[in-house]
Amino acid sequence: MSALGIISNANLNGGQKLAVKYFTVSLALFGAQVLFGLLAGIQYLNPDFLFGILDFSVNRMVHINAMVVWLLFGFIGSVYWLLEDESGTPVVGLGLGNLNFWIFTLAVVVVVLVYLLIQVGPGELKSIWLINEGREYIEAPRWADIGIVVCVLIFFFNVAATFMKGRFTGIAGVLVLDLVALAGLYLAGMWYTPNISMDQHWWWWVIHLWVEATWEVLVGCLMAYGLIKTMGVRRKIVETWLYIEVALMFGSGILGLGHHYFWIGTPEYWLTIGGFFSALEPIPLVAMVVHAVFDAGYHKLKSSNTPALAWIIGQAFGNFFGAGVWGFMHTLPQINLYTHGTQWTASHGHLAFFGAYVTMILAFFYLAIQKWRGNVWMGSNLVGSWKWKWSMFLLWTGMIAMTMALLISGYEQSQIERAIGGSDWVAYFAAQEHPWFVQGMVWRMIGGWTFAAGFVLLAWDLMTIGKRETRPALVVDAESH
């Protein structure tokens, strides 16, 4: 092990060396998401900005695709991070995993360059195969879809084979099955149909079942590992709770798919199923507050990595407000008829993605950098801790500002465009021109700049945190003593 506070691969095991590569690309793509979000936000206020060069559709596509991919890279990195530790054996097929990383990254770069430089193609199947599929979130052209599945399968092989060779823990079991679902579900979005109802029906399989089921469970696994490592909670307890969470998430999440099937041509019984799950889904989320209070009281939140712990606490709040409060406000079909496809959705989407996923991956970034610098002290009174605190403050403030601004715009839009105007062309622009909407967009932009400042500080912090520390990390791992 090299000196404390110096970044060195000697501090990492094989899986972790690969993990930090994924984390690096992940952070860069996070930056791309923020950048293209800013461009798209500016276009709401100044439609001539980059018109004809980088149109809103392009910026918005890169904004959301960068998000999907950087979160995915963050998840993959996090799994490689814990893999050797959890299984007690070196990663099986690490060379292949490394090659996979480079191919995956190269493919992402090519896809983004095509998005930016070619943008659109003729109305033929070859455009869908080579340029972009034109389906929100899964715009990646078909060749890249196939590539993504292959890459995820190689990743799956690394994970499954390593656990088979070493310890096959409870976390491992959940993780392996979840990755099968992750790869399998993507196939549902990989075929063409002229029928838009059919298209969106299967499209939601990918989007919803990824985001509101498999990703949630993946985060549950990461959280479980994190609790054992950073807070020293005993494995048996953590794994029992992981199973409870899987039961709750899949139990409510799989058929919770129904709330996307209200208005796309799917039968009326989905109003009932979707309504049922929409009304009852938040109950477990709310009840988990009890668990959080219990754990906090029990373990007294002693942690060896304060920034990571702070982001994990943020995850609990962000998930609660983003998914719970913001979701429930507009998910019953009686009101969703008017909020569907407005800035309401954007408001909910921003807070929920940030709260549930971004926070978790940022926590892993901090865990990783700590180890990469030779398990340096990252407890309280860390040298230069203002950076992580300010970046966290700015990211949260920016996100809350964006969410609130979009909420107000969406509220106005649901009334003027949807309820009064009946969602036609004139009604749409009547709502877009309304002062509440315009001011909402201004405040969203202010939130966006704040968030961007937070990102810059975050990137700087991740490059420098622990650099001047000389104290070793606090040991809290229950399994190591």
Partner 1 sequence: MIVEPVALANFFTVFFSAAMVILTGAVYALLFAYSRLRQRARLMPLAYVAYLGLSVSVYTLAQAANLFNDTFWTFIVGLMLLGYFAAPHVVWHLCVATHDQESVDGHKPHDEGNPSFIRP
Partner 2 sequence: MSQTAWWASESLWRKSAIWVTGVSFIFLIFLTFDTVDHITAGSKSGRVKAYSVINNRIDYVFDAKRNMQVPVIGPVEPLFGKVLTEEEAEALVSKGKLTTQSKNCMNCHTLLGNGSYYAPDLTKSWLDQSWGSKETREKSMVEFLMDPTDKLHNSLGRKMPNLGITEEEAKATVAFLKWMSSIDTNGFPANFKPLDQSDAPVATVTAEPAPKASAAPAQQ
Question: Interaction with partner 2 in 434-473: which residues (CB under 8 A)?
Answer: 434
Q: Which positions from 216 to 255 touch partner 1 by CB under 8 A, shown as an x/- string?
A: ------------------x-xx--xx--x-----------
Q: How many residues bind partner 2 (CB under 8 A)?
A: 93
- Selection from partner 1, partner 2, none that 411 binds (CB < 5 to 8 A by kind) is partner 1
Segment contacting partner 1 (CB under 8 A): 46-54, 292-300, 303-311, 392-400? Answer: 292-300
Least distance CB 421 / partner 1 (angstroms): 11
Environment class of residue 470 by beta-carbon count within 10 Å: exposed (0-12), middle (13-18) or buried (19+)? exposed
**Residue 102 carries which side chain, given as an amino acid letter?**
W
Decide if residue 329 touches partner 1 (CB under 8 A). yes
Q: Residues 26, 87, 158, 200: which binds partner 2 (CB under 8 A)?
A: 200
Segment contacting partner 2 (CB under 8 A): 22-30, 186-194, 391-399, 469-477? Answer: 186-194
Q: How far apart are CA 133 and CA 111, in angstroms?
A: 11
Q: How far apart are CA 89 and CA 304, in angstroms?
A: 24
Q: Reduced to 3 states, what is the DSSP secondary structure of residue 259?
A: helix
Q: How far apart are CA 139 and CA 354, in angstroms?
A: 21
Largest distance between two CA atoms of the chain: 68
Q: Residues 150, 176, 244, 325: which binds partner 2 (CB under 8 A)?
A: 244
Q: Reduced to 3 states, what is the DSSP secondary structure of residue 378?
A: strand
Decide if residue 342 touches partner 2 (CB under 8 A). yes
- Selection from partner 2, partner 1, none that 234 binds (CB < 5 to 8 A by kind) is partner 1
Looking at beta carbons only, is 123 or 267 nearer to partner 1?
267
CA 254 to each of CA 72, 198, 210, 404, 405: distance values in angstroms, whole numbers, following the listed order: 20, 18, 10, 29, 31
DSSP H helices in 12-93: 14-45, 56-87
Q: Which residues are 472's β-sheet partners? A: 376
Least distance CB 84 / partner 2 (angstroms): 24
Q: Which two tokens stand for residue 369?
A: 């950098």
- Which spans of this chain sit near partner 1 (rule: CB under 8 A)? 234, 236-237, 240-241, 244, 268, 271-272, 275-276, 279-280, 282-284, 286-291, 293-295, 297-298, 300, 320, 324-325, 328-330, 332-335, 337-338, 411, 414-415, 419-420
